Every structure is written in structure tokens, then in C-alpha cells.
């Protein structure tokens, strides 16, 4: 809509809706989340997940994240991509939970194969686990969150307001370190050395306006 201004007819700004993330951004976030999830597993169980219900849940959640890489569709390329994703899921189980693939059983009848089949049948929205859900299932604490730097996951002992405050403070410290690398002084140090704090015109017995005028023209003691 056009509006009138004293300088003429101008166009009013449009308040556009926030854009939805693209497919590339969505898959990038999934990969980062899977990377952080593996980092937690490697910290807790460096030699593989335990052979109990907790280990089963570890594998299930990780396979859900990997399965999100599979495209939707019936074309030959998409079907080939899905077969590749299933192979990635199989490789994860072999590396982290080989007890789910006993050698004496047929590959299609193992617990891993049945788990992969059940996951691939779920809608994508059920497989795309959020950082909050993963943090609660892992019982991730703030200390482990900071130590491992798994920022795509959310700690179970912090609410959304606390996490937002923490991230805001972390960004502030990051910007401050960036300013120090550029040689920008802290504000209190800058103000302590500023002319408004030193007030040299008081020591010379002249007014502030006179001191700045002499400085501008390079006359008197100010020019020395």
C-alpha cells in the first residue's frame, strides 16, 4: 500500500512472513543433530551401546535421525537413495550394536532389520526427533551439553527461557572476543581515557568550547 510523506509518495514496507527452511537446510540440521548424538554416545559408551533396553533406545533414536536422509518418492533415483540410507542404518548398527545382528540368523530376520523396517514405515514427522526430545531421552545435563558442545541437542535440566538466556550470553561473549581480536578497547577503558573524563580545559582554566576551538585551529597549548 502507498502512503503519503512530505517528500512525496512512498511505498509502505511489507511485513513478510518468515521463510520456511529449504530442503538443504533441513537435511543439514539433521546431519548436525546426528553428529551431536553420536558424540554423546561416544562419550558414554566408546565401545558400543549396552545390550539392554537403554542401548536399544540409543540405536532406535540414531536410526530415526539417519532415516530422515531418505527422500520421498517412487522414482528410480529416489529408490536408490533410500537403499543407500538403509545401508547407512545397517552400518550404524554394525558399528554400535553388533549384538543386534547375530551371525547365526538370516539378515532379514535380525532385530536390526526389523527395527529398520519399522522405522522406514513411519512418517517423516515421527522420525525427525527434535533436540528437546533427544536431550530428554539422553537425560543430557547442562554440564555435558557445554563440555561436549552438542548445541543441536537441548539439556533436560534447562527450560526454553534458560536456554535462550544462555545462548544470548554466549553470543555476547563471542562478539566481545571478536572485538578484542580487532583491537577494539572495552567501553570502560575507552571512557576512562576519553577527553570528557580527563577534562583538560579545567586544568587550563578555559571553557570546553574554547579548548575545542583552539584544538581545531591548532593554537595555544592544545596544539602542542
Residue pLDDT, tens place only, 174-208 = 888 888 888 877 777 766 677 777 777 887 788 87
Say if CB 2 and CB 12 are below 8 A apart: yes
The cell numbers describing 222, all together, are 592544545
Please give the DSSP secondary-structure letter assigned to residue 10. Answer: E
Query: 2 pairs with which residues across the strands?
Result: 11
Say if CB 82 and CB 69 are below 8 A apart: no
Mean pLDDT over 67-96 rounds to: 88
The answer to whether residues 146 and 38 belong to one domain is: yes
State the Cα–Cα distance between residues 153 and 135, nearest whole angstrom. Answer: 6
State the Cα–Cα distance between residues 96 and 59, nearest whole angstrom. Answer: 8
The answer to whether residue 174 is domain-embedded is no
From the list 67, 54, 201, the residue with the least C-alpha distance to 126 is 67
The answer to whether residues 106 and 147 belong to one domain is: yes
The answer to whether residues 32 and 86 belong to one domain is: yes
The answer to whether residues 97 and 200 belong to one domain is: no
State the Cα–Cα distance between residues 81 and 68, nearest whole angstrom. Answer: 11
The answer to whether residues 47 and 104 belong to one domain is: yes
Residue 222, pLDDT score: 53
Place of cell 522414482: 75
Domain edge (last residue) among 97, 131, 156 = 156
The answer to whether residue 133 is domain-embedded is yes
The answer to whether residues 141 and 218 belong to one domain is: no
Provide the domain limits for residue 116. 23-156
Average model confidence (pLDDT) for the chain?
83
The answer to whether residues 52 and 115 belong to one domain is: yes
The answer to whether residues 217 and 111 belong to one domain is: no
Domain count, the chain: 2
In this prediction the pTM is: 0.71
The answer to whether residues 199 and 95 belong to one domain is: no
The answer to whether residue 168 is domain-embedded is no
Residue 134, pLDDT score: 95
pLDDT band of residue 69 (cuts 50, 70, 90) is confident
Query: 10 pairs with which residues across the strands?
Result: 3
The answer to whether residues 92 and 42 belong to one domain is: yes
Q: Is 34 exposed, middle or buried (0-12, 13-18, 19+ CB in 10 A)?
A: buried
Place of cell 531421552: 137
The answer to whether residues 203 and 106 belong to one domain is: no
Helix (H) or strand (E) holding 8: strand 8-11
Amino acid at each position: 500500500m502507498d502512503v503519503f510523506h512530505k517528500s512525496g509518495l512512498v511505498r509502505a514496507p511489507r511485513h513478510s512472513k518468515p521463510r520456511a527452511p529449504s530442503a538443504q537446510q533441513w537435511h543439514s540440521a539433521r546431519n548436525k543433530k546426528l553428529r551431536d548424538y553420536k558424540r554423546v554416545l561416544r562419550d558414554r559408551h566408546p565401545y558400543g551401546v549396552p545390550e539392554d533396553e537403554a542401548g536399544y533406545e540409543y540405536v532406535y533414536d540414531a536410526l530415526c535421525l539417519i532415516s530422515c536422509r531418505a527422500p520421498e518418492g517412487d522414482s528410480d533415483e529416489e529408490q536408490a537413495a533410500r537403499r543407500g540410507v538403509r545401508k547407512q542404518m545397517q552400518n550404524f548398527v554394525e558399528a554400535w550394536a553388533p549384538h543386534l545382528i547375530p551371525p547365526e540368523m538370516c539378515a532379514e530376520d535380525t532385530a536390526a532389520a526389523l527395527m529398520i523396517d519399522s522405522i522406514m514405515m513411519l512418517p517423516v514427522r515421527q522420525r525427525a526427533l527434535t533436540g528437546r526430545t533427544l536431550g530428554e531421552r539422553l537425560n543430557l545435563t547442562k554440564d555435558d551439553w557445554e563440555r561436549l558442545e552438542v548445541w543441536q541437542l537441548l539439556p533436560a535440566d534447562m527450560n526454553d527461557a534458560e536456554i535462550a538466556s544462555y545462548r544470548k550470553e554466549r553470543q555476547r561473549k563471542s562478539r566481545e572476543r571478536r572485538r578484542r581480536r580487532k583491537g577494539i578497547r572495552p567501553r570502560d577503558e575507552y571512557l576512562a581515557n576519553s577527553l570528557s573524563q580527563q577534562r583538560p580545559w579545567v586544568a587550563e582554566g578555559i571553557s570546553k568550547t574554547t579548548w575545542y576551538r583552539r584544538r581545531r585551529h591548532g593554537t595555544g597549548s592544545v596544539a602542542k
